[in-house]
Amino acid sequence: MKNFFTNKKKIINNSGFSLVEVLIASAIISLTAIALMSAATKGIELSSRALRQVQASQLIEEGVEAVKSIRDTNWDTISALTANIDYYLSFDTNTNTWSLGTIEVDKIDGIFTRIVVFNDVNRDVNDDIRETGTLDVGTKKANVIVIWPASGGINSKNLNFYLANIFN
């Protein structure tokens, strides 16, 4: 029977990591950290861009409703507007009414500019809307545009719709 106490065990001498191994591990950790930070930065940028898109959509919707409110109050206000001119919406908190003016108002939330442009509407002999034809004084084409700065330039969204004198 073997004596277990007399067997000599081989001791492996491992004095630790070499300098090369430490450098490789540091490089891997650094590259991983840089990749994660880059992904997080891109995620924040995309999230911010999506937020601005949603805000712009809501401002367009509010603009459409404001123009309809002006139309409902007095069609003559809409019909008297000059075609292809930039108009700016403003809300009077004293009277709780919307108005249109040609003087640019302060940016919404310090970021967004909302513009409304009106165009005349023509109809053909079949009463269909066309580029040329008889002027329809009871209908206007409106375009609500929201503009905001973005990295690398300017972004914008717009919505075209027709507005009719439905109360006459």
107 lies in a domain?
yes
Which residues of the chain register pLDDT less than 50? none
Closest CA to 162 of 56, 64, 60: 64
pLDDT computed for residue 92 by the predictor:
92
153 lies in a domain?
yes
pLDDT computed for residue 20 by the predictor:
84
2 lies in a domain?
no
Domain limits at 85? 19-164
Q: What total of structural domains would you count in the chain?
A: 1
Instruction: Copy the structure tokens of residue 117.
Output: 């442009």
pLDDT computed for residue 16 by the predictor:
62
Contact 131, 122 (CB under 8 A): yes
115 lies in a domain?
yes
User: What length is written for the chain?
Assistant: 168
9 lies in a domain?
no
73 lies in a domain?
yes
pLDDT computed for residue 108 by the predictor:
93
136 lies in a domain?
yes
Three-class secondary structure of residue 42 per DSSP: helix
pLDDT computed for residue 21 by the predictor:
86
Measure CA 7 to chain center. 77
144 lies in a domain?
yes
Cα(74)–Cα(141) distance, rounded to whole angstroms?
17
